[in-house]
Structure 1
Amino acid sequence: MPNSDLLPSLLFKINENQLALEAAIMELTNWVEAHGSAEIADNVRGALDTIDKNEEFIKLTLAVLMTPE
């Protein structure tokens, strides 16, 4: 298997890790908010918005890269 064939799989796994980290950070954010730090929770959610905004593009691009030619 050529190295170029590994790239889509690698990017898929990196994206999967990124989404898992986002979920874990959101759980911590919810806990922080529940314990009286709403401002910090809002700041974290704002930072995580970038992941949400880019998610659809990443999924579509990975689908194209993983489609056999």
Structure 2
Amino acid sequence: MPNRSESNVATADALTLLLHNQHALAAAIEEVTKWLSNNGAGVVAENAVGAMETIDRNANAITDAIMRLRQA
């Protein structure tokens, strides 16, 4: 059975990969948002901006959790 430190490292590594995916999704949403905004779909673009704000907020919390796991 892995010790607590090994478990923390594995969890932090998995969270780091999820965080990278989250950043990639945010970049894709940003590109789609720009396209929507430039093509007259302002309301949809606003909704996409709201989704990006949620991603950013959660990314900060995930980053904090990763740092705590890596320091434990």
The TM tier, using the shorter chain, reads 0.7 to 0.9
Equivalents in 2 of 1:51, 1:44: separation in Å? 11
Equivalents in 2 of 1:20, 1:50: separation in Å? 14
Unaligned runs of 5+ in 2: none
Between 30-39 and 52-61, report the one with greater CA deviation. Answer: 52-61
Unaligned runs of 5+ in 1: none
| Structure with greater contact order relative to length (CA < 8 Å, sep ≥ 6) | 2
What's the TM-score once normalised by structure 2's chain length? 0.78
Task: Give how far 1:38 is off.
Answer: 0.8
User: How many matched pairs?
Assistant: 67
Name segments (4+ residues, structure 1) moved above 4 Å: none
Share of identical aligned residues, percent? 36
Contact preservation (8 Å) 2:36, 2:42: yes
What's the TM-score once normalised by structure 1's chain length? 0.81
2:28 paired with 1:48: no
